[in-house]
Structure 1
Amino acid sequence: MTETRRYSVTGMSCGHCESAIRSEVEQLPGVLGVEVSAQSGELAITLSEDPVLRDDAVIAAVDEAGYDALRQP
C-alpha cells in the first residue's frame, strides 16, 4: 500500500514554479508520484509501500527549488 502526503507551498504562481518543485521532489528516495498546483498552493507526493522519507527532506527539496512548504495534517 502506498502513502500520500500533502504539503502547503507558498510562493508558487505559475507552471514554472510547479515544474521546479516537481523536479526536486521526484528525485527523493521512495517518491512514486508528485502533483503540484500553483493555483491551490499544494504539493502531494505518493510514496512507496515502506516510506522512510522524512518530512524535513521534502521541505528541504521544496526550499532548494526556492519555495516554502509545510506538511498538512
Structure 2
Amino acid sequence: MKEVLKVEGMTCDHCVDKVEKFVGEIEGVEHIEVKLEQQEVAVTFNPPATLEDIKEAILDAGYTLA
C-alpha cells in the first residue's frame, strides 16, 4: 500500500530525519519519502503496519496531520 499524508510543522532537514526515524521504526514500512516543500509524507507499507500506526508515529514525532 502507498499513502500520502499532509503533515504540518516540518520546517527543516532535521524534521525530515525525525519523521523518517519514527515512521521507519514501524514493522512493515518499506519506503518513506518526505517532501518538505509540499509538507507531505509518502509511505509504502505492508502488514503488520497500518495507516493508523503511521499517523500515530508522525504525531509522536511532534507533528500535526493536516
> Under TM normalisation by the shorter chain, which class is it?
0.7 to 0.9
Any runs of at least 4 consecutive aligned residues in structure 1 with deviations exceeding 6 A, and if so which? none
Q: Distance in 2 between matches of 1:52 and 1:7?
A: 19
SS in 2 for 1:8: strand
Q: Does 1:64 align with 2:60?
A: yes
* 1:13 and 1:38 in contact (8 A); partners too: yes
Q: Distance in 1 between matches of 2:65 and 2:17?
A: 15
TM-score for the superposition, normalised by structure 1: 0.80
TM-score for the superposition, normalised by structure 2: 0.87
Q: 1:19 aligns with which of 17, 20, 24?
A: 17
Q: How many residues are paired up?
A: 66
Mapping 1:46-65, distance limit 5 Å: 46-48=44-46, 51-65=47-61
Q: 1:32 aligns with which of 30, 33, 47?
A: 30
Give 5+ residue unaligned stretches, structure 2.
Answer: none
RMSD between aligned residues? 1.3
More helix by share: 2
Larger radius of gyration: 1
Q: Distance in 2 between matches of 1:34 and 1:54?
A: 14
SS in 2 for 1:33: strand
